[in-house]
Amino acid sequence: MKNALLKYGSFALLLAPLGCQTSAPAATQATTADAWTPKKADKWFRSRVWANGLKLNVQESVDKVEFARQYTANKAAWDKAFAYFRDTNLEQLAVGKYPIDGDNVFAAVTDNPTKEYANTNWESHRKYIDMQYVVRGAEKIGQVPLASATVTKPYDEARDAANYSAEGPLYEAKPGTIYIFFPQDVHRPNIKVEGIDKDKKLVVKVRVAQ
C-alpha cells in the first residue's frame, strides 16, 4: 500500500499505510524518558545510584527533579565530581584550585573565617552548579527559589554570579552532607555558626547541561 501525503498548511506529513505499526521518533522517546516527575526523581534520589559508592549525603533541600535531570544529561561529569569527593582525602587537601575535568568540573578549597549574616550575600549562578561541602567546622547556608528573590546586582558573566535580596531558611552545613545549588537556587553561604569561627570548605563546580 502506498504512503499517503497529507498537506497541512505549509507543511507536508508523510503518513504510513494504515495497519502498519510505527514507533515514536527517537527525539520524542528521549524527551519522554527524560520527563522527571517529583515522585520519580525522589525515588531516583533515594536509590543513591548517583553516589557510586560515596558515603556522603546530599542535603534533602536539593531540587531532586533538577538533580535527576542534570545528572542524566551530563552523567560523565557528575560521576567525576562524586568520585572526587569519594576518592580524595579532603582533610589533607590544601587550599587552592583543582582541575577535575577541564572546564566541565573543577574544585576550590578554602579555609577561612565565616561571617556575620549581614556580611554575606544571596547569590546564584548560570553556567555552573555549586556542590558545597564543609570539610571541617560549620557554617549556615540560606536557600530560596530564584522566583522568590529580588535582584540587587545583575548577573555578571565574568563572575558567573548575580546577587539578590531575599528571605528564606538557613541550614547548618557540617561534615557529612553536600549542598547542591542549581541556577534556580539562590543561596547565601559562609554564615557564622555560634561558637565556630571558621571552616574548611570544598566547592566543586559542575557545568550546567542545557
| Dist. CA 63–CA 23, nearest whole Å | 33
Chain segment 43-92, per-residue pLDDT in tens: 999 999 999 999 999 999 999 999 999 999 999 999 999 999 999 999 99
- pLDDT > 70 fraction of the chain, expressed in percent and rounded: 84
pLDDT tier at 210 (50, 70, 90 boundaries)?
A: confident
Answer whether 78's CB lies under 8 Å from 50's CB.
yes
Q: Which residue from 2, 4, 204, 1 is spatially nearest to 104, judged by alpha carbons?
A: 204
For residue 149, pLDDT beyond 50? yes
Distance of CA 29 to the CA centre of its chain: 24
On the question of pLDDT at 11 being above 90, the answer is no
CA nearest to 188, candidates 158, 167, 174:
167
Residue 7 has pLDDT above 80, yes or no: no
Mean per-residue pLDDT, 182-197:
97
Strand partners, 108: 97, 203
Nearest 10 degrees: CA dihedral of 112, 113, 114, 116?
-150
In residues, how long is the chain?
A: 210
Across the strands, what pairs with 179?
132
What is the three-class DSSP state of 99? strand
Q: Which residue has the cell 577535575?
A: 100
pTM of the full structure: 0.83
Residue 34: predicted pLDDT: 60
Higher-scoring residue by pLDDT: 160, 20: 160
Residue 14 and residue 3 in contact, taking contact as beta carbons nearer than 8 Å:
yes
pLDDT value at 103 more than 80: yes
